[in-house]
Amino acid sequence: MVSRREFAAAVRLLVDAGFRFTVIGGTVVELALNSRDLGDDIDVFAESPQVLGEEEVYMAVAEEKGWEYGQTWLGTPRLGVRVGESVVPVEFYDNLYDFYVPPLILERATTERVEDAKVKMVTLEDHLVLKANAGRQSDLERLAEIGKYVKRGRLRVDRDKIFEAASEFDDPEVIIRRLRDAGVL
């Protein structure tokens, strides 16, 4: 599990190494819940270097820093960023195949402070839409868990932002239905 301290340290190390990215994964939810444990890895949308055509940059940085290098399920770079005795897995994504993050979602990402690091991340609402769009069983189960937090008032979502983000996809009705079924809306 990635602690807030490890998350902040990994973000700083990546930025210092020249990486530019937006956090798109479950870390967004955990931070909104003010959790101490931020999940198993950090999923980011790569801005620079590109995941296609510049993969050698990821490999070179991993070798130089003594970090682990691998690939995600999509074949994009995955770095194991060493933070003290821990390794923080960071998975880099881009719009490939069925994986899609609309420009609107990236444009309205916000910069947040976590510990002593500034990090750009998608909004909670946009993360939920991305999860609902993916629609894998694990995503739907996680949305149901998040729906419980919404029902209990631990998380608040802006319905208008959700509808706006969903409209950026080919099947917004499916996304909205999945979010309703999960109790998020």
CATH of the domain at 13: 3.30.460
What 3-state class would DSSP assign to 91?
strand
Query: Is there a single domain that holds both residue 153 and residue 169?
Result: yes
Query: Is there a single domain that holds both residue 85 and residue 175?
Result: no
Confidence (pLDDT) at 115: 92
Cβ atoms < 10 Å from Cβ of 40: 12
Confidence (pLDDT) at 152: 96
Query: Is there a single domain that holds both residue 48 and residue 12?
Result: yes
Confidence (pLDDT) at 140: 96
Residue 40 sits in which domain range? 4-122
Of 101, 122, 143, the position where a domain reaches its end is 122
Listed as ranges, residues in the chain with pLDDT below 70 are none
Confidence (pLDDT) at 52: 87
Query: Is there a single domain that holds both residue 27 and residue 79?
Result: yes
Confidence (pLDDT) at 97: 83
Of 104, 122, 140, the position where a domain reaches its end is 122
| Total of domains in the chain | 2
Q: How many helices (H) and strands (E) does the chain have?
A: 8, 7
Query: Is there a single domain that holds both residue 21 and residue 99?
Result: yes
Q: By C-alpha distance, which of 120, 106, 95, 108 is closest to 42?
A: 120
CA distance 18 to 98: 27
Distances from the Cα of 148 to the Cα of 108, 139, 155, 174, angstroms: 26, 14, 9, 20
pTM of the model: 0.93
Query: Is there a single domain that holds both residue 103 and residue 38?
Result: yes
Query: Is there a single domain that holds both residue 113 and residue 149?
Result: no
Query: Is there a single domain that holds both residue 48 and residue 137?
Result: no
What 3-state class would DSSP assign to 170?
coil
Query: Is there a single domain that holds both residue 28 and residue 111?
Result: yes
Query: Is there a single domain that holds both residue 173 and residue 151?
Result: yes
